[in-house]
Each structure stands twice: as C-alpha cells, then as structure tokens.
C-alpha cells in the first residue's frame, strides 16, 4: 500500500490545499473589511412639491411607498388616500447606490392634481431622484419626460400608522 503514495503527488496535493486555504482566508478578510450590506431605508415618504404642474391649480399630497431588496427598489407614487388601506400597484423600479435613490417607470399624471379637469388618465414616463436618504428632510426631483418638466420636492419619512397602539376605551 505504501507503493501507491508518490512523494510528488503528496506535495502537489499539499500545495493545492494550502493555496485554497490561503485564498479563502484572503477573500474572507477582504469581505469582512470592505463589503457591507446596504442600510435599510424608510418605506413611506410624504412628498411636498415646490411648485405645481403646468395646468394644475392645486397639487395632491403625494406618498412615495418603497419596497427594498438590498440595493434594488420597487415603488409607487400615489395621492394620499384617507379612507382605505388599498394595495397600490408598484409601477416604479430603481436602485439605491451610495445613499442616492433613482427610480423610474410610468405613472398616471392625474395623481398629481386635485382639479377635476385634470383627471383624464395620462400615463407618462417619470424619473425620481433623491439623495442623502438618512436625513429627516430629503431633497429630490421628479422629471416628467413627456413635457420635460422637472419638479423639486422635499420628502419626509412617515412613521408606520399601524404600529401605534390602540387605546382601550372600556
């Protein structure tokens, strides 16, 4: 049985195993020191627009609802609905990189206006950019591609309304 072991083969296997262990330790040390998970962001933001859209006398109060999976985002932009907990279609997608949020997709422009005349469905491409996500008041801008309108806004993180304890009135 000793004749089956060749000294050259044992050296080759020893060098291969040692090389793999050194490579594994190097990659592990690099990952622990340089790779970090993306910090979670708040899921709901109230948007305050700096000006109204053209042909819109009064702007709806808007909510930006974001779902996050690592750096990838799905979101919806809709007017505040006070009477229901309806599920919203997530029609914006984007990415979170270096605390900058970029979303794009298509949205019904009627969501922006309270005027009955503007309630005609007009689906337009939209892009939303926000920076410095960890602040209380986040500056950003909305770009509507069809009429080249850029709207500046301030986003304020919302607290979860369902998390508030209910009072017992017995």
Q: Are residues 31 and 53 in the same domain?
A: no
Asked whether residue 117 carries a pLDDT value surpassing 60, the answer given is no
Cα–Cα dist 155/86, whole Å: 22
- Which CATH number does the domain housing residue 104 bear? 2.40.128
Q: What is the pLDDT of residue 11?
A: 93
How would you classify the pairing of strands 149-157 and 44-49? antiparallel
Is residue 162 in some structural domain? no
Q: Are residues 18 and 91 in the same domain?
A: no
Is residue 51 in some structural domain? yes
Query: What's the domain count of the chain?
Result: 2
Q: What is the pLDDT of residue 33?
A: 92
pTM here is: 0.66
Nearest to 142 by CA among 100, 94, 99, 104: 104
pLDDT digits (tens, 9 = 90+) for 21-75: 999 999 999 999 988 777 777 678 888 888 877 677 777 788 888 888 888 889 9
Q: Are residues 31 and 48 in the same domain?
A: no
Q: Are residues 27 and 54 in the same domain?
A: no
Q: Are residues 25 and 49 in the same domain?
A: no
Is residue 163 in some structural domain? no
Q: Are residues 58 and 108 in the same domain?
A: yes
Comparing 12-26, 73-87, 153-167, which segment has the lowest mean pLDDT? Answer: 153-167
Is residue 61 in some structural domain? yes
Cα–Cα dist 95/77, whole Å: 16
Q: Are residues 17 and 78 in the same domain?
A: no
The parent domain of residue 3 ranges over 1-36
Number of residues assigned to the chain: 170
Q: What is the pLDDT of residue 146?
A: 61
Is residue 165 in some structural domain? no
Confidence of residue 84 (pLDDT cuts 50, 70, 90): very low
Q: Are residues 31 and 98 in the same domain?
A: no
Q: Are residues 17 and 95 in the same domain?
A: no
Q: Are residues 27 and 84 in the same domain?
A: no
The encoded tokens of residue 19 equal: 């090389």
């Amino acid at each position: 049985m000793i004749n089956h072991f060749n000294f050259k083969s044992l050296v080759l296997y020893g060098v291969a195993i040692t090389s793999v262990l050194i490579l594994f330790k190097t990659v592990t040390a690099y990952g622990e020191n340089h790779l970090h998970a993306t910090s979670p962001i708040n899921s709901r933001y109230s948007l305050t627009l700096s000006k109204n859209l053209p042909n819109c006398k009064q702007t709806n109060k808007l909510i930006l609802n974001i779902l996050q999976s690592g750096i990838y985002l799905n979101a919806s932009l809709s007017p505040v609905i006070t009477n229901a907990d309806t599920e919203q279609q997530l029609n914006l997608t984007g990415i979170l990189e270096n605390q900058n949020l970029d979303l794009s997709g298509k949205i019904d422009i009627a969501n922006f206006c309270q005027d009955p005349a503007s309630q005609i469905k007009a689906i337009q491409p939209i892009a939303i950019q926000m920076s410095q996500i960890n602040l209380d008041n986040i500056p950003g801008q909305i770009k509507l591609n069809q009429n080249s309108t850029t709207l500046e806004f301030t986003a304020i993180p919302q607290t979860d309304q369902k998390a508030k304890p209910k009072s017992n009135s017995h």
